[in-house]
Structure 1
């Protein structure tokens, strides 16, 4: 499980064995069952989660009780409630497991200590955060300007592995369409 984290980091910065051991000492391994919450809205969300195994979703529940999926995360992806994590606030998002899941998580305090001591890791997290912002911008622009069919085609293009693992109802929710609309789109 450490191997997948090292591979993730070394896509951006190279580490010696000693450096990686030091980095790993700031993470904790945790397992979750399918449907178990990793973060619940209203609770503290002090950790950023690197997915070693499994599949998760982050979502927001509006005042009318409607659920809005913001993100999925599978192996080699990160997931958290960024606002709660970075600002040490109560979570506004929920994160739960779609499959049995294992994560390596790092607290904001450990991340800040690690980044202060290792510029390579500070650079790594800066690059990952920037990539996350770019993906979020792409998602927002997609929701604002694309048709349902265009959003579906983009989802297939960017996330072909998720298409195989997610129930259609979750894909429909992520795309902001009904399940019936998704069935029509996937048939065409």
Structure 2
């Protein structure tokens, strides 16, 4: 397994400048979690008080409607963050699920610790603000792509942006993320 501390340090250093002491203090607030393929991290109805940084592996955040149809909101690969952010920030119960597509190692930080560190170290607050803004922009772009582009374009765009998904994620999950059936996805791949 890659060194979680070094992976998080490299990730953070792309957007914020922390000295060794600051980073060590920041990292001391994380807990390592090892998950198996298929294991649930968050289940609809849970109380959510942590967010998670993926060290290795792949997770998915998804919603199941009343007919048990799955809608994938996000894939979370290495160096990505995942949680039910609405539940985390609003203190409501989880409305989405997060589980492991592959075995995964993740770092967990509580909302309370994140807020405390953001108040103490401006650069950490800057990082989390940047990350939240980037996530918002990505969600907006995905929504606009659904409105303006056909499924073939969205599929090609997904593979261009995240080519590793094709080998990590089963095709029926990619189809669900794109909002199409597995059969439609198969026709696109021909």
* TM-score range for the pair, normalised by the shorter chain length: over 0.9
Asked if 1:110 is matched to 2:113, the reply is yes
Tell me what 1:10 maps to: 13
Tell me what 1:166 maps to: 169
Tell me what 1:78 maps to: 81
Asked if 1:51 is matched to 2:51, the reply is no
Separation in 1, partners of 2:120, 2:96: 30
Tell me what 1:22 maps to: 25
Give the total of aligned pairs. 187
Tell me what 1:39 maps to: 42
Structure 1 residues without counterparts, runs of 5 or longer? none
Q: Deviations over 1:23-53 (max 9, x none)?
A: 0011111111110000000011111100011
Q: Deviations over 1:103-154 (max 9, x none)?
A: 1011110100010000000000000000000110011111122101011011
Say which of 117, 136, 142 aligns to 1:133. 136
Which contiguous aligned blocks of 4+ residues in structure 1 show a shift greater than 2 angstroms? none
Separation in 1, partners of 2:163, 2:62: 21
Separation in 1, partners of 2:48, 2:141: 25
Separation in 1, partners of 2:49, 2:165: 27
Structural RMSD (CA): 0.8
Separation in 1, partners of 2:170, 2:69: 18
TM-score by length of 1: 0.97
Separation in 2, partners of 1:57, 1:127: 22
TM-score by length of 2: 0.96
Separation in 1, partners of 2:62, 2:120: 34
